Amino acid sequence: MNSHSLARLATAVVTIVVGFSTLALAGPPLVCHPIAIGQAKTLPWVDLNYQKGSGSYNLKNLPQDTLEILDSNPSVLVRMETLRRATIYARQDPDVARELLLRLKMRTTNSNSRESDALAWFDLGYLAETIKQSTRNGEPSAAKGLDGYVMVNKAISLRGSDPEMEFAAALIAITGSESDRKLHVEKAIAGAKSDPLLAQNLAAFFNHQTIAEMLTQSATEQASK
């Protein structure tokens, strides 16, 4: 990567980090804003509007369908979008939400490797925070008492460097500590140089559409050296 590319990338990083601290998203970010996952498999959907799912979807299948997708070892971005959709569906039936949370909790005690343990904690933590964001004031929350941010940080510590998990942690921390949030964003941006979908999501969430192009171009230039 040449010095000009590095300068543009540094500018992009600063722009996103500063923008992240001041951006006011319309609606809860974990629920209202879809994650771009390309052609990857996730739960069925008709309209990505926050309130609309497939009217023909059988909610009784939601816990099993969700776990089958998560257990197929998809990317973290796919896990995020799957859990977002599952949360929106589960709003229609609190019992389904509780069952899904329970089954994800069980996975944190039944993992057989450090990798699966990290993913299990990530899934539980991200679902818990998404459910909390989807719960209206005064409503009981199936995720009450669960600290999803702590769980996602535990997943990161178990898994090691994972920019997509850092992106997820940054979204969870959007109303939390600014210093923690910025650190997660910086780590996510560093990984986005070689992850076009992550770069696309960073750009979409922070309203800096040129960032994805900068990051992608920088990665291409680096690979050609």
Q: Which residues, including other chains, have CB under 8 Å from residue 119's CB and lie 6 or more apart?
A: 70, 73, 79, 111, 155, 159
Which pLDDT score, from 0 to 100, does residue 5 have? Answer: 46
Angle between helices 178-192 and 196-206 (to 10 degrees): 140
CA dist 136 to 13, 31, 125, 176, Å? 34, 12, 19, 19
pLDDT (tens digit per residue) in 138-161: 777 889 899 999 999 999 999 998
In the three-class reduction of DSSP (H, G, I as helix; E, B as strand; rest coil), residue 15 is classed as helix
pTM: 0.81
pLDDT (tens digit per residue) in 56-70: 788 999 999 999 999
Ranges of each domain in the chain: 3-28+93-224
